[in-house]
């Protein structure tokens, strides 16, 4: 049932919030599908931006970092202005990756 909930949530988000960055996995975070507390690889926005790479675990841990560091309101702001996430976070992709490495180090 949780997987179906996630799929439905992703359809609703996609229909209502165009151009969501593919690394933002708010539905997993909200529905609590991931019970992992630690990541076993370093999540990376730069890696997720590559066309031939996708990893749900990275998406979850990036989203979790943003929520826990910047708050839920920041994620909502990113959903409203997805192409401006760097401005909203006041960090480049490289800086985000460095912060992720420090956070999950």
- Domain borders along the chain are 2-104
Residue 21 has a pLDDT of 74
Tell whether pTM > 0.85. Answer: no
pLDDT digits (tens, 9 = 90+) for 30-59: 656 566 666 667 888 888 888 777 777 888
Query: Nearest 5 degrees, angle CA 7-CA 96-CA 98?
Result: 125
Residue 52 has a pLDDT of 79
Query: Among 52, 47, 56, which residue's Cα sits nearest to residue 24?
Result: 56
Mean pLDDT of 90-100: 96
């Amino acid at each position: 049932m949780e997987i179906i909930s996630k799929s439905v949530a992703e359809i609703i988000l996609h229909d209502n919030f165009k151009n969501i960055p593919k690394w933002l996995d708010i539905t997993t975070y909200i529905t609590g599908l991931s019970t992992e507390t630690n990541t076993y690889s370093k999540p990376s926005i730069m890696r997720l931006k590559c066309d031939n790479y996708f990893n749900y675990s990275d998406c979850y841990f990036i989203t979790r970092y943003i929520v826990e560091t910047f708050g839920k309101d920041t994620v909502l702001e990113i959903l409203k202005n997805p192409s401006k996430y760097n401005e909203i976070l006041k960090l480049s992709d490289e800086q985000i990756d460095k912060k992720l490495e420090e956070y999950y180090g």
